[in-house]
Structure 1
Amino acid sequence: MNPHPPPWAQAPTWANQPSGLPKHPRFFFTDGNAPVIVDNTLYRLHRYLFSKGSWYLNLGEQPNYLWESKKDFDRFLTILYPSDYSKHECETAEEWASVLTVADHVGMQDIRRLAISRLAECAGPVDKIVLGHRYNVTEWLAPAYLALATRTESISAAEGVRLGVDALVRLAALQDEIYGNLRSYVNPEKFAEMFASKLAI
């Protein structure tokens, strides 16, 4: 059995009886033709809106179970069903990361590009490293690693957990390279004099 099912899958037996599930208060449309179940919540969407994605072929009258969080899926749907056409409801890096997650999984490339462009403006270097590796946004990686390697604050424990071992190893190697090159431009005698005067020795 595949341990990593696709983001969509035919709903399990219990989900083929959608009448017992709560309907989403915003994204259940009576004229919809694509029932979807996320976190035991029933959505009824419009199939044509997904025509540019790989998920389109999997939508039909039978409910599909989406392996995403309800929060992420709702944020993604605000792009397809905006409450205000003059602006997006998503504003923060966390919200746009949700949009990127679902857009990437269901193959909606236009929305994926939109999320990437917004994250380029609002995401910090840790987010860009994590998401850049996960979703192959390679143009983020070098600038984000450099920003972390040269910032004055140390990597926090929470940031370290998010980055993971591989990214931390890359970051340490980059810092060694940066400060190794820096030392080659420093006059050791003047450096010692400066510290001696600062420490009054």
Structure 2
Amino acid sequence: MSFSKARGASLHRSTEVRERGLHSGGPTRHPDYYLEDGNLVILVEKTLFRVFRSTFTRHSPVFRDLFSLPNPEGSTSEGMDDANPVQLSGISPVDFERLLWVLYPLNYAHPRAGTLAEWTSILSLATRWEFSSVRTLAIHHIQSLPSAFASPLSPPTPSPVSTSPDRRPSKATSTPVFPLDAILLARAYDLPRDRWLLSAYTALCTRPAPLTSAEAAGLGAEDTSRVARVREALRAREAGSRLGGYCAPTVSSAARARLSAGAGTVTGGRGVLDWSGSGRGATPAPRPATVLGTRASPFAKGSPPSTSRSPTAFPGPARLVAETFEISCL
């Protein structure tokens, strides 16, 4: 048989196998991610993917260890063809496809994933298989999605809307990330305890409405108790402020405190301090009003302005939330 006839017969048999698999409910090839020049066939449920082995071994130590295991004598290496694919269980073809969006992007400037559900799929598999750079990318995009809570440290920045034809918009694109979603996501995938998580907890603690039963069940007993304690403390602080029971330190009180330490001068009864520390002979300089709270000013003589944030450096209610939930954004 000539080469052309043999090749034609092989292609015909291959077509028959695909059609038989389609009609019998067997595996089918993914329309976008069965790459003809790939060298690794992966089966997820009933969908075949054909990708490059080097992509997985380079970025994932889990796959690197998997493919470093020797094959039994006389056996065909897994992943060589459709008849002997690498089978991945416990995931869906949709989730695996979304991971491939990142590994084999159609447009590098505009990631195809755009919703919380899509990026969560990518984060889940990247965490499971230790794709560290993909995990970092997913966390970045999740925290950049529009949210239903504002950051207590900086104004929210809306995420840019992609107009790329490779990005397929969905109805969920404009759905914001809610505080409970952010908290549960951070807990499930061990996200950094940073200002994004602080913003979510602060939103739950400062909103007018109390936690619902569903929210309390999702948070668990410990976090629900913490939210209740913070809300009670904030209400007490607000009530004390209305009744005159809570006063912020003024310039005069700060001046008297500094004078008692022998470091400054009070003049004219208005709390003007000599911050030069040279006594009454020097020209007094006005001191800006102290911010709300009881901590010392970071602008005292000899102390440059601090650029890091400890839990006690957050403004307003966020400081109490940070201390209660042990969140530090340095």
The Cα shift of 1:145 comes to 0.7
TM superposition score normalised by structure 2: 0.46
Aligned to 2:87: 64
Residue 97 and residue 34 in structure 1: after superposition, are their counterparts in 2 closer, same or farther (change >3 A)? Answer: same
Tell me which stretches of 4 or more aligned residues in structure 1 moved more than 6 Å.
none
The yes-or-no answer on 1:183 pairing with 2:239 is yes
Of 52, 68, 89, which aligns to 2:59? Answer: 52
Q: Given the superposition, is the C-alpha separation of residues 35 and 110 from structure 1 closer, same or farther in structure 2, using an over 3 Å criterion?
A: same
Correspondence for 1:191: none
Write out aligned runs for 1:91-170 (5 A): 91-122=114-145, 123-137=177-191, 138-139=193-194, 140-156=196-212, 159-160=215-216, 162-170=218-226
* Distance in 2, Cα, partners of 1:169 & 1:70: 39
Question: 2 CA distance for matches of 1:175 and 1:47?
Answer: 52
Structure 2 segments unaligned to the other structure (5+ residues): 1-20, 68-77, 80-84, 146-176, 245-330
Aligned-partner residue type, residue 54 of structure 1 = P
Aligned counterpart, 1:195 = none
Cα distance between partner residues in 2 of 1:32 and 1:165? 50
**Structure 1 residue 181 displacement after superposition:** 3.1
- In terms of mean alpha carbon deviation, does 46-55 or 175-184 score higher? 175-184
| Greater fraction strand | 1
- Separation in structure 2 between the aligned mates of residue 151 and residue 145 of structure 1, nearest angstrom: 10
Shift of 1:31: 2.5
Among 87, 91, 97, the alignment partner of 2:110 is: 87
Highest CA radius of gyration, 1 or 2? 2
Mapped to 1, the partners of 2:208 and 2:119 lie a distance apart of 27
How far, CA to CA, are the matches of 1:67 and 1:180 in structure 2?
49
On the 8 A contact 1:96/1:115 being kept in 2, the answer is yes
**TM-score, normalised by the number of residues in structure 1:** 0.72
Q: Which has the higher contact order (CA 8 A, sep 6+)?
A: 1
State the 1:79 CA deviation: 0.9
Matched, 1:40 2:96: no
Q: Percent identity?
A: 29
Q: CA RMSD in A?
A: 2.6
